[in-house]
Each structure stands twice: as structure tokens, then as C-alpha cells.
Structure 1
């Protein structure tokens, strides 16, 4: 699936990434995650994710990958059918050029087509630039995300 969008003269394509294409997104995921995990671990985790109401898309400009993001789909008792954008990464040279705005327009349209009523997401506490962006997009801070290693 390829969806095209134009923003400030920049033609973008949002291409659905298939399970067998996981290796092509790993360099961007590694950069996003600070190389915390091996490619083998990430490949195994993404392979499982593809079987759990998860979809992945690449962001392309003139055929070149410039970003990646995922979306989880679920029903929440407090929010109804919901889409959760995840692991959003846009290459540094494409930031602050309207790519994020166009990306979220795509996410909202896609989620509505899939019957979603809401969108929610997590953002690292130290990622201040994303907080400002998400607040400008109309997201509200509703709580904290807790994680415990087992």
C-alpha cells in the first residue's frame, strides 16, 4: 500500500512495510533506540509484533527512506477503538520541514478508516521536542507510562 502526500513542495509516500521487509527498517530503528538491541533481537520482536494488531510504514521521499513508524490497533475501555502511533522516526535532515505534520494527517485518516475513535501514544520523558509537537497536535497528557523488567 502506498499513499502519497504533498507538503511544502515535498512529495512523500507512506509505504506499508511487510514482515519480510523488516531488515530495511532496522537502521532507522537502531538510530531511534540508540543501538540498545541487536538486529537479531529487533527482528524477532518486530516479527512477533506483526502478528499482534500492529502495522508498520516507511516514509519515503523521492524513493528514499526518510522515516519509519508503526501503529497499534486496540479497543480500550476508556477510549474505544484506538490507534497508537509507535516508534516514530524521521531522519534529522527531514525534521522541522512539515514531514511530522503530514505523517500525523496520514495516521489520523488511516485510523479513522479502520474505525478508530481515538489516538494515544507514549513519548520518552526526555524527548521535549516531541512533547511540544504532540501538544500542538491536540494530544493531552493523561498519565505516566510505567515499565518493569521481569
Structure 2
């Protein structure tokens, strides 16, 4: 298989496709149970979230969730919220093929940039992102609103 070919990437929208995506997403988002994912996914889709999957034949091997937004520092951009290849299929080119698809998808929507965040502890992922051309340019901070209770 040509790993740079995005023809085996498609949007995941059916219950069966989400069922197949759930165990892969759990590798990245361990805190989610299936019911929570379903509720969140429905709300996220209403807000513009799109979930794409990379297939090897009939096997779903990688997923990525993306939104399009506009802000002052990036202009119109795609944001990759979730990108994960199932552990047994990593280092086979599926993640880079999925990102190539997202780059083209974002360009078709007049985006200027594709951005993503990655946890500080995910050093292997950071090397991967840099290898496929992403620039490490900022830190992301969060404040838990219920932390003071």
C-alpha cells in the first residue's frame, strides 16, 4: 500500500464506524467510556468537529478529529484535536497519511494553517510531528474552573 495515498481516508459518521473508532480513540483518551464519547461526539459535531479514519483494506487503523476555526494569530485554520494510530499499527505511515489528508482537506476549506496540541509527556508523538513538518512554537495552558472548590 502507498502510505501517502489519502484515498483510504474517510469521514466516520455511522454508528458502526464510531464503534470501530472507539477502541482506537481510547488509546489516546483513556478517560472516555463509550457512552461519554457518543454524547461528546454528537455535541462536537454540532460545533463543527469532523472525525476521519484511515483504513488499511477494511481495517480502521488510525483516526483524527478536526475542526475549522478563525483567530487573530493563525487566521482561518484547522485544529487537530485527536490523532492516534492503533498501537499495533504505528510506524507504518498511517499517521502521516492521515495528516496529509487533513492538510489537503484544510486547504480545500481555505485554511492557512493546521495546528495541534500534544501532551508534554508524549515525546514520541512530538518527534513524529516534527518529522512531518510541524513547528513547536508555543505552550498551551489550562485552568480548571472547578479546581478552587
Asked if TM exceeds 0.5, the reply is yes
Residues 19 and 47, structure 1, Cα contact 8 Å, conserved in 2:
no
Gaps of 5+ in 2: none
Q: Distance in 2 between matches of 1:57 and 1:41?
A: 19
Q: Could you tell me which residue of structure 1 aligns to residue 3 of structure 2?
A: 7
Q: Does 1:64 pair with 2:71?
A: no
How far residue 113 of structure 1 moved from its aligned partner, in angstroms, is: 0.5
* Corresponding residue to 2:89 among 94, 99, 105: 94
The one-character-per-residue Cα deviations of 1:60-93 (angstroms, maximum 9, x if unpaired) are: 1111111111111001111111011121110122
Q: Could you tell me which residue of structure 1 aligns to residue 44 of structure 2?
A: 49
* Residues 106 and 15 of structure 1: CA distance in aligned 2, closer, same or farther (over 3 Å): same
Q: Which moved further from structure 2: 90-99 or 135-144?
A: 135-144
Q: CA RMSD of the aligned region, Å?
A: 2.1
May I ask how many residue pairs the two structures share in their alignment?
144
Q: Distance in 1 between matches of 2:26 and 2:7?
A: 22
Residues 12 and 61, structure 1, Cα contact 8 Å, conserved in 2:
no
Q: TM-score, normalised by structure 2?
A: 0.85
Q: Distance in 2 between matches of 1:142 and 1:11?
A: 27
* Corresponding residue to 1:75 among 70, 74, 82: 70
Q: Does 1:116 pair with 2:111?
A: yes
Q: TM-score, normalised by structure 1?
A: 0.85
How far residue 17 of structure 1 moved from its aligned partner, in angstroms, is: 1.0
State the SS of the aligned residue for 1:89: strand
Residues 22 and 46, structure 1, Cα contact 8 Å, conserved in 2:
no
How far residue 19 of structure 1 moved from its aligned partner, in angstroms, is: 5.9
Q: Which moved further from structure 2: 97-106 or 51-60?
A: 97-106
How far residue 11 of structure 1 moved from its aligned partner, in angstroms, is: 8.6
Q: Distance in 2 between matches of 1:30 and 1:102?
A: 21
Gaps of 5+ in 1: none
Residues 10 and 52, structure 2, Cα contact 8 Å, conserved in 1:
yes
